[in-house]
Structure 1
Amino acid sequence: MLLVNTDYIKNVEITESLGLVKGSTIRAKHIGKDIAAGLKHLVGGEIAGYSQMIDEARQIATSRMVEEAEKLGADAIINIRYSTTTITQGAAEILIYGTAVKNK
């Protein structure tokens, strides 16, 4: 499955738009990561535990979006966007969406 964040694919003719597809996941912070994050605020630097959590959440959301597109018989997903929303304190949703298309 070809995934792009543009509204076209270079040198590929899109023959049909199948509609919006999306994938999401909601992740909560781990108490151990919260303690480490608090310490990082004092000394600065990347909070590796949170970076890993967000990366994993993006991968899960992307996989869910691709599964939805495959069910529609899509060859690609164009115009992909990510969104992050705080659900409650300590939990966030990662949402990815795009347009499923067929091409030649």
Structure 2
Amino acid sequence: MLVTTTPTVQGHEITKYLGVVCGEVVIGAHLGKDILASLTNLVGGRSEAYESTLRETRDDAMAEMMDEAKKLGANAIVGTKFDYTVIGQSGSMMMVAVSGTAVTLT
């Protein structure tokens, strides 16, 4: 399934708008990753532990959104947006939400 952040797809015509589709995934903090991230903060650099978790979470949210679009009969999603939010007591969880418009293209 084609997923794009743009409102149209060059070379294709949108024949039907099927509605807004979403995917949300909430992840909790993990003590081991927090320790690794703390060490990274001390010496500098990127936190691979958090980055890989964030990538997995984003991919899961996208898969959820695409499944919803397929159920509507879509072959593409346009206008896709991502939102990352820290939630829970003392920011112990993060939510990744993705949404877009399910469409059919020619």
Which TM-score band applies after superposition, normalised by the shorter structure? over 0.9
| Partner residue of 1:91 out of 87, 90, 93 | 93
Which residue in 2 is equivalent to 1:33?
33
Which residue in 2 is equivalent to 1:65?
65
1:25-70 CA deviation, whole Å, 9 max, x = no partner?
0011210111111111111101010000000000100000000000
Which residue in 1 is equivalent to 2:105?
103
Structure 1 residue ranges (4+ consecutive) displaced by more than 3 angstroms after TM superposition? none
The percentage of aligned residue pairs carrying the same residue is 38
Aligned residues: 104
Query: Does the residue aligned with 2:103 lie in a helix, a strand or coil?
Result: strand
Give the whole-Å Cα distance in 2 for the aligned partners of 1:97 and 1:90. Answer: 23
Give the whole-Å Cα distance in 1 for the aligned partners of 2:94 and 2:29. Answer: 9
TM-score w.r.t. length of structure 1: 0.97
TM-score w.r.t. length of structure 2: 0.95
Question: How far apart are residue 21 of structure 1 and its match?
Answer: 0.2
- What is the root-mean-square deviation of aligned Cα atoms in Å? 0.7
Gaps of 5+ in 2: none
Which residue in 2 is equivalent to 1:15?
15
Question: How far apart are residue 73 of structure 1 and its match?
Answer: 0.1
1:54-92 CA deviation, whole Å, 9 max, x = no partner?
000001000000000000000100011100111122210
Which residue in 1 is equivalent to 2:3?
3
